[in-house]
Amino acid sequence: MLIRYPLLVVLTLIFMTSCKSQDGFYNLSNKIYSIRKEKAPKFEAQEKRSKEIRKMLFENGKLAFFSNSENLFMLDGYDIETSLNYVTLWNSNGEVNYVFNLNEFELKEESLYSNKLKELIETWDIEDYLQNTKGTPDFGALDIVATKMKVIDDKWLIENITFKEFLIED
């Protein structure tokens, strides 16, 4: 009987931690959806689909790197010609890449964005970089929403910036 008690305590702690992480991710995903839906109501259907995909990825273990205590980043590029979204979601422990529209979804093995762009998002230097970038984006460039989700006092602070895709070398 004594051996079962420590095992029960360990299993209970694992379950509680798992539930907290799950609730934290669902709350964060819902918050992202609400903020982005409010800023661009005409893309509400795509934002809802994006939220559903994030939930599916989390439930299937593809976002196992998610933590309630570590910043999370997302690049979501929209191609107006094809209605496809190109999404990378990452932190220091992992990354997931996928392409979707309202009817299709495909996981990608390779990163969809350059390491340099991801570094700019992680340090949130993208605004300064964009102001100092000369030239204009190519015709047909993706409309990108970069999102930084930062944990402060156990609460998520979400920052977004939008820009046109531009050539950036690693």
Query: Quick check: is 13 in a domain?
Result: yes
Q: What is the pLDDT of residue 72?
A: 92
How many domains does the structure of the chain reveal? 1
Instruction: Indicate the pLDDT class of residue 142, thresholds 50, 70 and 90.
Output: confident
Range of the domain at 46: 4-164
Q: Does 140 score more than 60 pLDDT?
A: yes
pLDDT, tens only, 57-96: 999 999 888 887 889 999 999 998 898 999 999 999 999 9
H/E run at residue 118: helix 115-123
Query: Quick check: is 169 in a domain?
Result: no
Q: How many CB atoms lie within 10 A of CB 167?
A: 10
Query: Quick check: is 149 in a domain?
Result: yes
Amino acid sitting at position 91: N
Query: Quick check: is 91 in a domain?
Result: yes
Query: Quick check: is 130 in a domain?
Result: yes
pLDDT, tens only, 6-19: 444 443 333 333 34
- Average pLDDT value for residue range 128-134: 65
Query: Quick check: is 151 in a domain?
Result: yes
Q: List for the chain the helix, strand, coil content (%; round to 5).
A: 40, 30, 30
- Average pLDDT value for residue range 119-146: 74
Tokens for 46, please give them: 């795509």
Q: 0.85 cut: is pTM over it?
A: no
